[in-house]
Structure 1
Amino acid sequence: MIEIENLRVERDGTPVLHDLSLSLPSGGITALIGPNGAGKSTLLLAMAGLVSPMAGRVRLDGCDLHAMRPQARALRLAFLGQDQAQASRLTVRDLVGFGRWPHHRGRPGPADQAAVAGALSLFGLNELAERPVSSLSGGQRQRSQIAMAHAQATPLVLLDEPLSALDPRYAREVMEALVAMSHDAVAPRSVVVVLHDLGMATRYADRVVALKQGHLAASGPRREVMRDRVLSDLFDTGLKLREVEGADVVLPA
């Protein structure tokens, strides 16, 4: 379980998150939504222990994330931010293998190799495994990075706009892979993902956290948050949720 209590964060002296409190149960996908500048990426960074709050705390299963040593934190959560840089000579397999570093510390074994192989397969990267990362398209690089986070095998996975470089086919396949890992029968993971595509949040999220101007606007199961009035107030424009061919979509009102 993730517990956030009275979290206040400033960036360059400007308040970004204001006394934010919420709890997220283990497992499933939580979508962070909201207009630009709402504080979604900052909240994700705070949940990863990568920005220090001015006040409040973030706990994972009762442990204060900001009090953990980096090595211990890397075994509890995987974080994928925007614009991740990689060395040009890395292959896709090498990149995905970096997700195993907190486990083997330079001495990979059969379990690490199996985890990398599973991540390559889950995200459709087997044919690209020996290609240099520098030769990939933006979408292929994005999938490789998400596979690296998967290979880290942590109970919490934090992803900041992982669909930004993906075409509709791969965006759908990535979300379906995230659903599979978050509902795995043996080791389900908690996935928290920043999404700008409201249709993806409506279709795949178990829970939705909505932020506006650094404040918590709404939080709860997807069907409680993804409603006409909530979305229209959140984005200051008329929006409506409608069913089209069996799937919920967000349309202009």
Structure 2
Amino acid sequence: MITLTDVMKEYSSEVAIGPVSVELQPGGITALVGPNGAGKSTILTMIGRLLDLDGGAIEVAGHDIATTPSKTIARVLSVLRQENHFVTRLTVRQLVGFGRYPHSGGRLTLGDERLISQAIDFLDLGPLEHRYLDQLSGGQRQRAYVAMVLAQDTDYLLLDEPLNNLDMQHQVSMMRQLRQAADELGKTVVLVIHDINFAAAYADRIVAMTDGRIRYQGTPEEIMREPILTEVFRTPMKVIEESGHRMAVYYRPDQG
């Protein structure tokens, strides 16, 4: 379980995140949604201990992230940041291999190599594993970074906008693969995502944020309601149902 208790981050007297208190249950996919500036990425980054808290506490699987040694945390959770700075002379396999560093210290074993290969295959990167990162499209590099996170082999995966740079086909493929990681590999996936319909289709739980606070949380069926979505995204939304799934669409009130 990931537990946030009165978590705060203050950027200025006008801009602050929190206080946020929430329990994210283990297993499945939790999607953090909301407009730009809502605080989604900040919360995810603080959980991943890449940003200090100004107040409150965060525990991941019983570990206080403020006091637990970094090596221990790195074996519990892995993080994909929104902005990745890649080294062009790395191959895909070398990049994915960095995910094993908390376990290997840079000396890869046969077991490490096996997990690297599994992550590469899981993200359908086999034909690209010996290509250099600067020879890849943005979407291919994004998949390579997700493979690196997966190779770290932690119970908790934190992904900040994993659909960045992906076209529609690969967005769907990525969400299916994350769903598979949760269902078949037993991972707890927490992701920041902009497309509410992807969240509704693939997540088990949705946490909706605005203005640095959690406004709503629940199952997709509980969150995919017109008053909630219109309030959260500050734009008129309609919810339609197709084949048992709820989808949100923008509409102009003057057009009915």
1:62 aligned onto 2:73: no
Matched, 1:161 2:161: yes
Query: What is the rounded CA distance, in whole Å, between the counterparts of 1:140 and 1:243 in structure 2?
Result: 33
Looking at structure 2, the residues matched to 216 and 247 of structure 1 have their Cα atoms a distance apart, in angstroms, of 24
| Correspondences of 1:12-23 after superposition (within 5 Å) | 15-23=15-23
* Root-mean-square deviation (Å): 1.3
Aligned to 1:197: 195
**Which digits, 9 at most, give the CA deviation of each residue in 1:40-82, with x for residues without a partner?**
1100111101111111111112211121222111111111112
Q: 1:246 & 1:137 partners in 2: Cα distance? A: 35
Query: Secondary structure at 1:56's aligned position in 2?
Result: strand
CA contact (8 A) 1:8 1:15 kept: no
SS at match of 2:66: helix
| 1:118 equivalent in structure 2 | 118
Instruction: Return the letter of the residue paired with 1:192.
Output: V
Change beyond 3 A, Cα 1:221–1:92: same
Q: State the match for 2:226 in structure 1.
A: 228
Corresponding residue for residue 96 of structure 2 = 96
Counterparts of 1:14 and 1:188, CA distance in 2? 40
- SS across alignment from 1:183: helix
Q: Deviations over 1:183-216 (max 9, x none)?
A: 12xx411111110011111100110011100011
TM-score (norm 2): 0.94
Matched residue, 1:32? 32
Q: How does 1:82-93 map to 2 (within 5 A)?
A: 82-93=82-93
Compute the displacement of 1:110 (Å).
Answer: 1.7
Count of residue pairs brought into register by the alignment = 251
**Change in 2 beyond 3 A, CA 1:39/1:73:** same
Q: Which residue of 2 aligns with 1:73?
A: 73
Q: Which amino acid aligns with 1:220?
A: G
CA displacement at 1:87 relative to structure 2 = 1.3
Q: How does 1:128-143 map to 2 (within 5 A)?
A: 128-143=128-143
Output the CA distance in 1 between the equivalents of 2:44 and 2:172: 22
What's the secondary structure of 1:86's corresponding residue?
coil
CA shift in 2, pair 1:5/1:133, >3 Å: same
Structure 1 residues without counterparts, runs of 5 or longer: none
Decide whether the 8 Å contact of 2:5 with 2:58 is kept in 1.
yes
1:9 and 1:220 mapped to 2: Cα distance? 24
Q: Which residue of 2 aligns with 1:250?
A: 248
In structure 2, C-alpha distance between the alignment counterparts of 1:237 and 1:154, rounded to whole Å:
38
C-alpha separation between the residues in 1 aligned to 2:13 and 2:53?
Answer: 12
Shift of 1:11: 2.9
TM-score, normalization by structure 1: 0.95
Distance in 1 of aligned mates of 2:189 and 2:98 = 19
Q: Which amino acid aligns with 2:11?
A: R
5+ long unaligned stretches in structure 2: 252-256
State how far apart, in whole Å, the 1-side matches of 2:37 and 2:24 are: 22
2:175 paired residue number? 175
Residues 145-193 of structure 1: CA deviation (Å, up to 9, x unaligned):
0010011001111111110200011111111110111112xx4111111
Moved more, 24-33 or 10-19: 10-19
Mapped to 2, the partners of 1:246 and 1:225 lie a distance apart of 15
